[in-house]
Amino acid sequence: MNIRYLAFLFLLLNMTYLLTGCWDRVEVNNLAIITAAALDKKDDKTIELSIQIFVPETSGKEKQNVATMGNENTQSPTLVESAEGVNFADAMLKLQGKISRKIFWGQNEVFIFGEQLAKKGILNELNGILRAVQPRERANLFISKGQAKEILKLNPVIDRNSAESIHKLVHAHTGLEESIIDTLQMMNGESKAVALPWIEILTPQDGRSSNVRMPYIHGTAVLKTDKLLGKLNAEATKGVLMIKNQAASGTITVKPKPEKGYLSAEFVKDKIKLIPQITKNHLSMKLQVQTEAIVTQNSTHLDVMNSHDLAKIEKELAKGITLQIRKALDQGQKKWKADIFGLADTFYRKYPREWKKYKKNWDSLYPNLKIDIQTKFRILRPGMTTENPKI
Amino acid sequence: MIERGKISALQMAMILHSTIAATALLAMPSVTMKYAHQDMWLSPIWASLGGFLIVWITFQLHKFYPKESFIEYVPRIIGRFLGSIFAFLYLFFYWIILGDIVREYGEFLITNFLAHTPYSVISGSMLLVCAYAVRGGVEVIGRSAQFFVPIVMPLFLIVLLLLIPDLKPQNMLPMFEHGLKPSLIGAIPPLSAFYGEFFLISFLYPYVSDKQNKLRWGIYSVLSVVWTMLLVSFSTLLIFGKVGAHLTYPLIGVARYISLADFLEHLESIVAAIWVLSMFIKMTMIYYALSLGTAQWLKLTDYRPLIFPIGILSLVLSIWTVPNLQVLSQFINSTGTIYFLLMQYLIPLLLLIVAYFRRKQNQKKVAEQA
């Protein structure tokens, strides 16, 4: 009994050896938490990977400084570091060599590709990001005007860092929201084209504080397979958002024909249905749009409270929506000839057998595809006033 | 009888559920998607027919020899000499399987979570825990399954529930693009590698206490595995679409994809918890079948002295037979398929036929004598 007891004790003591080693021990204060990453083309063979690292100690004090002293020239709470390499993995390795703390990708939700790299193609780097263990499949992708690194260096005063600004912009739905997986799905799909949000730098209006510039999403980048072709402007982006069912909110302003003023409405619900049709070897597309909105400004003589006028207003607004969508479609079909709306996939899903015939010719069919837009517009509420007060 | 413990039919079903679902959760979707594309959710349903078949075959065999495990009654069916060889083939088979499973367990944790921890520590410590459970016998395994399954299932459902906002049902379309063939071909890997493991039920039948419910709970556990596989297939397909075929562990990707209200994110550790808990049951079950079977084959009075040697050998085997994950998946997709089908479907079926005719002949003899 006594010996068994001792043996047991001996075994227990031996267990403590197992507790000493922990190979994958991670301490937060040994991590360099990445908030955003940017990839740029360096030369024909190499890329430059830049990362924005959150600097935890200063950010607390920083906020206080800004709040109490209103000092604009305070130090940035983030650090931007970059390294070159032949690909993402190589650059990542070299980047780690420059930074004392262990790089941690788990919190990064923003990947920005520079214009030049995007023209060369982003698929190889996307595959590298997906294969690496830490970066997330849900991280959002962006294309930036000029060098993507510049976006990381920005220090927007209203947010902690530019990554947070971009993240918030995405959630405001002023531009597209496309994750790595969404993008790969589009590239792997039938349409072989992707639309990604386009980032530019907003310089403040008052020249005084020119060092506080902010990133903003301004338009849509058009990629065929994985190469950047060009961009759609902000106006056409509104249409793209609607077609992709990503327009959570938005406003439309129209000028009804005989009237002099403008009419604006903010939509609260916006749903679009893409209905592909194949009849007698002829491909066509029907878009059914359903929009519900609230009137936000009315400087015309039409009365929102009058049901007769209301029908007219709704018709005019529907026309405006149709026009907005048409603009986006035209740019995609005629100007860039890239199926960024995923129309090919809708054909493939509905007519898998017939699609095999058209698949090869899609590139020539798509620019001339007849697309019929049917918009139903409904005004839910007049807003806070009924008729405009008159002078 | 070496094993004196008794488990309930429910415990048996829970052990089997964890045993099959554990690896199927992580490994199955990308395999079926490779062959069946967007119809991959059908494949586990087709494959489940195999699961029902095995449960039925082993139950019929069990009815012929109610108090014996597979290793014990094989010599009774086809003669002592041939039977012993066959029994050894099965022990060898489970030995390889145990090696594979140990490797898979370690590989998953190393790839996703513990990049710098040595493989032998991860797998060795798990095998040590399993060895302890195996020493406890079938009752301990049954109880740990009963304890862990109610933890694992809600965790799994939580992951799936939080995914609902991100599901894209259009990824399922077009259905049956190339007819049913792709989904049937996609059913082969789950049929051989996953549902085939239901054969382990033949080691549990003799120790189930409520005799009436044995078959019924066996079938219930096949159904619950089908259900689990369906949920995993759907979540992978509706989130990743065809890209899912390129992911090593789609379920981890799916869990990482969760993002609710900007703070409920990064939930992959839940998947790790599910994996470790169900893999514990799985490894213990195979380990137990191997230890008990070896003792029965050698006609020993106790299987406990065999546990540690078998554990150490399995750890070594997991490094020898599976140098890396690529070799393992290649094995499962090529020779492994035939091996699994042969050992878990074909031979048991032939044995059942032989046993059936033997029984008839015996009855005739008895009738003649009378």
Give the pLDDT confidence of A43-53 residue by residue, as tens digits. 888 899 999 98
Give me the residue label for tokens 């603009």. Answer: A327
Set of chain B residues whose Cβ sits within 8 Å of the Cβ of A103: none
CB contact under 8 A, B242 and A18: no
CB contact under 8 A, B116 and A133: no
Calpha distance A90→A83 (Å, rounded): 9
Query: Is residue B210 within 8 Å of residue B8, measured between CB atoms?
Result: yes
pLDDT of residue B16: 92
Calpha distance B158→B152 (Å, rounded): 10
Set of chain B residues whose Cβ sits within 8 Å of the Cβ of A350: 173-174
* Domain final residue pick, A182, A206, A232: A232
Domain spans in chain B, listed from the N-terminal domain onward: 9-356
Average pLDDT over residues A14-34: 76
CB contact under 8 A, B173 and A350: yes
Calpha distance B36→B247 (Å, rounded): 15
Domain membership of residue A344 (yes or no) is yes
Question: Which residue in B has a C-alpha nearest to residue A181's C-alpha?
Answer: B240
3-state secondary structure chain A: CHHHHHHHHHHHHHHHHHHHCCCCCCCHHHEEEEEEEEEEECCCCCEEEEEEEECHHHHHHHHHHHHHHCCCCCCCCEEEEEEEECCHHHHHHHHHHHCCCEEECCCCCEEEEEHHHHHHCCHHHHHHHHHCCCCCCCCEEEEECCCHHHHHHCCCCCCCCHHHHHHHHHHCCCCCCCEHHHHHHHHHCCCCEEEEEEEEEECCCCHHHCCCCEEEEEEEEEEECCEEEEEECHHHHHHHHHHCCCCCCEEEEECCCCCCCCEEEEEEEEEEEEEEEEECCEEEEEEEEEEEEEEEEECCCCCCCCHHHHHHHHHHHHHHHHHHHHHHHHHHHHHCCCCCCCHHHHHHHHCHHHHHHHHCCHHHHHHHCEEEEEEEEEEEECCCCCCCCCC
Domain membership of residue A136 (yes or no) is yes
Question: Which residue in A has a C-alpha nearest to residue B170's C-alpha?
Answer: A349
CB contact under 8 A, A133 and B170: no
* Domain final residue pick, A172, A197, A232: A232
CA distances (Å), origin B317, targets A285, A367, B288, B289: 59, 60, 17, 17
| pLDDT band at A21; cut points 50, 70, 90 | low
Give me the residue label for tokens 């595959």. Answer: A127
- Report the range of poorest mean pLDDT among A114-118, A133-137, B46-50, B336-340: A133-137
pLDDT of residue B266: 80
Nearest to B114 among A24, A185, A350 (CB): A24
Q: Minimal CA–CA distance to A120: which of A225, A216, A50, A238?
A: A225
Calpha distance B332→B203 (Å, rounded): 23
Set of chain B residues whose Cβ sits within 8 Å of the Cβ of A353: 177
Calpha distance A313→B57 (Å, rounded): 73
Render pLDDT for B90-142 as a digit per residue (tens, 0 to 9). 999 999 889 988 998 998 888 888 888 888 888 988 999 999 999 998 999 99
Collapsed DSSP state (helix, strand, coil) of residue B308: helix
Collapsed DSSP state (helix, strand, coil) of residue B314: helix
- Report the range of poorest mean pLDDT among A20-34, A137-151, A181-195, A325-339: A20-34
3-state secondary structure B341-361: HHHHHHHHHHHHHHHHHHHHH
Set of chain A residues whose Cβ sits within 8 Å of the Cβ of B256: 136-138
DSSP B188-256: HHIIIIIGGGGGGHHHHGGGBS-GGGHHHHHHHHHHHHHHHHHHHHHHHHHHHGGGGGG-S-HHHHHHH
Is it the case that residue B358 has pLDDT exceeding 90?
Answer: no
CB contact under 8 A, A23 and B116: yes
- Would you say the C-alpha torsion B35, B36, B37, B40 has a positive or negative sign? negative
| Closest Cα in chain B, distance from residue A15 (Å) | 11
| Interface contact A194, partner B, CB < 8 A | no
Q: Are residues A204 and A254 in the same domain?
A: no
Calpha distance A51→A53 (Å, rounded): 6
Domain membership of residue A106 (yes or no) is yes
End-to-end CA distance of chain B: 32
Question: Which residue in B has a C-alpha nearest to residue A106's C-alpha?
Answer: B266
Is it the case that residue A76 has pLDDT exceeding 70?
Answer: no
| Interface contact B256, partner A, CB < 8 A | yes
Average pLDDT over residues A241-264: 81
Both tokens assigned to B341: 């089908």
Domain membership of residue A86 (yes or no) is yes
Q: Minimal CA–CA distance to B289: which of B9, B8, B16, B13?
A: B16
CB hemisphere CA count around A141 (13 angstroms)? 27
Q: At what angle do helices B268-297 and B138-163 cross, to 10 degrees?
A: 150
Domain of A120 in residue numbering reads as: 27-232
Q: Are residues A253 and A227 in the same domain?
A: no
| Interface contact A76, partner B, CB < 8 A | no
| CATH superfamily of this structure's domain B9-356 | Amino acid/polyamine transporter I (1.20.1740.10)
| Closest Cα in chain A, distance from residue B328 (Å) | 19
Q: What is the mean pLDDT of chain B?
A: 88
Render pLDDT for A118-138 as a digit per residue (tens, 0 to 9). 888 888 888 888 888 888 888
Give me the residue label for tokens 């009654």. Answer: B73
Nearest to B174 among A21, A22, A352 (CB): A352
| Interface contact B181, partner A, CB < 8 A | no
Domain membership of residue A6 (yes or no) is no
CB contact under 8 A, B243 and A18: no
CB contact under 8 A, B256 and A136: yes
Render pLDDT for B64-102 as a digit per residue (tens, 0 to 9). 888 888 888 888 888 889 989 999 999 999 998 899 889
List of residues 6+ apart from B360 with CB closer than 8 A: none
ipTM over 0.90: no
pLDDT of residue B171: 85
Is it the case that residue A353 has pLDDT exceeding 80?
Answer: yes
Give me the residue label for tokens 């797998």. Answer: B123
Q: Are residues A129 and A267 in the same domain?
A: no
Render pLDDT for B163-187 as a digit per residue (tens, 0 to 9). 888 888 888 888 887 888 888 888 8
Average pLDDT over residues B9-37: 88
Q: Are residues A108 and A194 in the same domain?
A: yes
Calpha distance A30→A57 (Å, rounded): 13
| pLDDT band at A75; cut points 50, 70, 90 | low
Tell me the pTM: 0.84
| Interface contact A39, partner B, CB < 8 A | no
Domain membership of residue A13 (yes or no) is no
* A3-38 per-residue burial string, b: 16 or more CB within 10 A, e: under 16: eeeeeeeeeeeeeeeeeeeeeeeeeeeebbbbbbbb
Render pLDDT for A316-346 as a digit per residue (tens, 0 to 9). 888 888 888 888 888 888 888 888 888 888 8
* Domain final residue pick, A232, A265, A292: A232
Helix spans in B7-79 (H): 9-36, 43-64, 70-78
Q: Are residues A220 and A158 in the same domain?
A: yes
Collapsed DSSP state (helix, strand, coil) of residue B150: helix
Domain membership of residue A290 (yes or no) is yes
| Interface contact A181, partner B, CB < 8 A | yes
- Would you say the C-alpha torsion B195, B196, B197, B199 has a positive or negative sign? positive
Both tokens assigned to A114: 């520079």
CB contact under 8 A, B115 and A24: yes
Average pLDDT over residues B217-226: 92
Q: Are residues A219 and A285 in the same domain?
A: no
Nearest to B259 among A138, A345, A353 (CB): A138
- Would you say the C-alpha torsion B55, B60, B61, B67 has a positive or negative sign? positive
Q: Are residues A251 and A296 in the same domain?
A: yes
Set of chain B residues whose Cβ sits within 8 Å of the Cβ of A180: none
Q: What is the mean pLDDT of chain A?
A: 82
pLDDT of residue A210: 58
Domain membership of residue A124 (yes or no) is yes
| Interface contact B241, partner A, CB < 8 A | yes
Set of chain A residues whose Cβ sits within 8 Å of the Cβ of B125: 18
Is it the case that residue A156 has pLDDT exceeding 80?
Answer: no
Q: Minimal CA–CA distance to A289: which of A344, A235, A241?
A: A241
Q: Which residues in chain B (93-112) have CB-CB distances under 8 A to chain A?
A: 111-112
Calpha distance A176→B189 (Å, rounded): 39
Render pLDDT for A83-102 as a digit per residue (tens, 0 to 9). 999 988 899 889 888 888 88
Collapsed DSSP state (helix, strand, coil) of residue B301: coil
Instruction: Give the pairing of strands A263-279 and A250-254.
Output: antiparallel
Nearest to A138 among B115, B116, B256 (CB): B256
Calpha distance B269→B276 (Å, rounded): 10
| Interface contact B60, partner A, CB < 8 A | no
Q: Phi first, then psi: what are they for A383, rounded to 5°? A: 90, -160
Query: Is residue B36 within 8 Å of residue B176, measured between CB atoms?
Result: no
Q: What CATH number is given to the structural domain containing A369?
A: 3.30.300.210
Q: Number of structural domains, chain A? A: 2
Q: Are residues A195 and A143 in the same domain?
A: yes
Question: Which residue in B has a C-alpha nearest to residue A133's C-alpha?
Answer: B112
